[in-house]
Amino acid sequence: MSINLRTVYAFAREMYPKTSKETIQYGTAGFRGKAEFLDSVMFRMGVLATLRSRYRGGSVIGVMITASHNPEPDNGVKLVDPKGEMLEASWEAIATDLVNVSDQELEQQVAKIIKDNNIDVTTSSQVFVGMDNRYHSPRLLKAVADGVIALKGNVKEYGIVTTPMLHYFVVAANTKEAYGKPTEEGYYDKLIKAFELLRNGRLENGNYRNSIIYDGANGVGARKMLQFIKRMKGTLNVTVINQGIGVGKINEDCGADYVKVQQSPPKSMPEDVKPYTRCVSVDGDADRVVYFFTDDKGEFHLLDGDRIATLIAGYLMELVTQSEISLRLGLVQTAYANGASTDYIVDQLKFPVSCVPTGVKHLHHKALEYDIGVYFEANGHGTIVFSDNAKATIAQVAQTKESAKTLLLLIDLINETVGDAISDMLLVETILNHKGWDVQDWISSYNDLPNRQLKVKVQDRNVIETTDAERVCVKPEGLQTEINQVVAKYKRGRSFVRPSGTEDVVRVYAEAATKEDTDNLAYEVGLLVQKLAGGVGPPLTK
């Protein structure tokens, strides 16, 4: 097979010319921005995915077109490596360089990547592409596919799928189906079979009720949940709201990010929902999930990623102890984890905890250091990874012990490749069912500290630099000292600032002993960011 790099330039010039001069970076979860400027980025990512596949000896590489939790006009792209992880960090820089060169420099840049990485361009290659249900996604998918074709690679289009489904397909194909069949039906089968075996015909138990309200964020997660419902035949009664069919924009006033940040139910919540009904929200590409309910006084309660992590960690610990096996368990969080959740994990569950920077790529990597690594961001993004040693040990003990049999089924239910809102939800449902718990039992395990997040607009968010897993701000000079002074005024106060890697904002996080203190702390720190980091836009409100 001969490759002519001139073709890459020809495609770029004729069909996907670069229309923006702004430098863009491979951020927390790939490239994100306004959809109208992303055609050239997508084409180039098709090219890069093909090169990456050849670099990895022909393994499948995934390309997911989505802007996940961002608003509807945005889109984005993330690359999936052969084992289902996010693109290796050293290639993020290669990706950034590739999307930022001019059309005229493109051919030369591709030649440089091939040379620097010693890529054999005659190796076969395979790229799997999926997209969310944004109206501009099909156009961008075609651009990715053309990037693959320009280098004579093989492309398989999965159409509208969730991000975790695409990760699953990549791993299923690369493991020659040991992980499952690389098809939509294979994905549903694997999860539903494990879920139904774990239910074992017991639909209700103790306080646990077998029905749930599911907010699909008007995204792909709603469509796929409808497919689950068809196939589950009543094992779980799910009512899907914000289905995104006809009315409703993706993530607008609904979905996991809205519910978590606004600390309120989706606006379109039906009025006749009974107090204490278990509700769940996923985000635009269904890789995050949070639970919530409203009590009999109408007060909203959130069960976020920290709650999910502690529930899962505690349950896994019980099963491992009952199975009498010795495995290293650990939990990974980020700076956004509620201080009360960390205290609970360390003091009550006696689980080792580590803190890493935002972004599943960091959490996943750290979790792989354990036999059973549980990782969750407070925003609901997370999963559990099991080492080969853990899987082999559990399989052996499962021949004689029920608790280990349960663990084996849980491994099948969990999408180890990346956070998967639907798989995570089925896991939480399983644990609550086994424990006979409903939301009140779950929330009473510890009390969250009140917390608040703000977005602050600044001229250039990259003026903010952080260290110590984003808990300390090193630039601009003086900002951290002033934050420390403000934090010191509040009981149990904690606050940090960091530039977002998916939106053009600086994020401010604050927690303190009371809600009023938390709001004041967030506001004061937000003002400091505006003052010292080049704030633009309207004045902050409390």
Which residues of the shown chain bind ligand G16 in the complex (CB under 6 A)? 28-29, 68-69, 283, 287-288, 358-360, 377, 379, 381, 500-503, 507
Shortest Å, Cβ 346 to ligand G16: 22
Closest by Cα among 195, 216, 221, 11 to 107 = 11
Closest by Cα among 68, 56, 77 to 129 = 77
Task: State the DSSP code for 535.
Answer: B
> Judged by CB, which is closer to ligand G16: 225, or 409?
225
Closest by Cα among 300, 305, 359, 293 to 331 = 305
> Judged by CB, which is closer to ligand G16: 78, or 405?
78
Shortest Å, Cβ 325 to ligand G16: 31
The residue type of 471 is: R
> Judged by CB, which is closer to ligand G16: 287, or 429?
287
> Judged by CB, which is closer to ligand G16: 397, or 418?
418
Going by their DSSP bridges, the two strands 506-511 and 451-456 should be labelled as antiparallel
> Judged by CB, which is closer to ligand G16: 288, or 494?
288
What is the distance of C-alpha 328 from the center of its chain? Answer: 24
Q: Which residues contact 148 (CB under 8 A, 6 or more apart)?
A: 46, 47, 49, 50, 125, 127, 129, 154, 155
Shortest Å, Cβ 288 to ligand G16: 5
Shortest Å, Cβ 141 to ligand G16: 18
The residues that are catalytic are: 68
What CA–CA distance (Å, rounded) separates 148 from 225? 31
Most distant pair of Cα atoms in the chain: their distance: 70
**3-state secondary structure string across 326-352:** CCCEEEEECCCCCHHHHHHHHHHHCCC
Shortest Å, Cβ 80 to ligand G16: 12
Q: Are 380 and 304 in contact (CB under 8 A)?
A: yes
Shortest Å, Cβ 454 to ligand G16: 12
- The H-assigned helical ranges of 155-265 are 163-174, 184-199, 220-232, 255-262
> Judged by CB, which is closer to ligand G16: 151, or 332?
332
**Measuring CA to CA, how many Å separate 15 from each of 140, 142, 149, 336, 522?**
12, 11, 13, 42, 46
Shortest Å, Cβ 498 to ligand G16: 7
Length of the chain, in residues:
542
> Judged by CB, which is closer to ligand G16: 196, or 470?
470
Shortest Å, Cβ 418 to ligand G16: 9
**Measuring CA to CA, how many Å separate 428 from each of 286, 390, 439, 442?**
15, 21, 11, 10
At 181, give phi and psi (nearest 5°): -85, 135
Shortest Å, Cβ 430 to ligand G16: 23
| Secondary structure percentages of the chain, helix, strand, coil, to 5 | 40, 20, 40
Q: Are 465 and 472 in contact (CB under 8 A)?
A: no
Count of CB atoms within 10 A of residue 399's CB? 8
Q: What's the alpha-carbon Rg for the chain, to the nearest Å?
A: 23
> Judged by CB, which is closer to ligand G16: 30, or 265?
30
Shortest Å, Cβ 64 to ligand G16: 9
Q: Verify cis geometry, omega within 30 degrees of 0, for the bond prior to 476.
A: yes
Q: Residue 493 — left, alpha, or beta (φ > 0 → left; ψ -120 to 50 → alpha)?
A: beta
> Judged by CB, which is closer to ligand G16: 18, or 288?
288
At 192, give phi and psi (nearest 5°): -70, -40
**Tokens found for residue 114:** 């091939």
> Judged by CB, which is closer to ligand G16: 9, or 26?
26
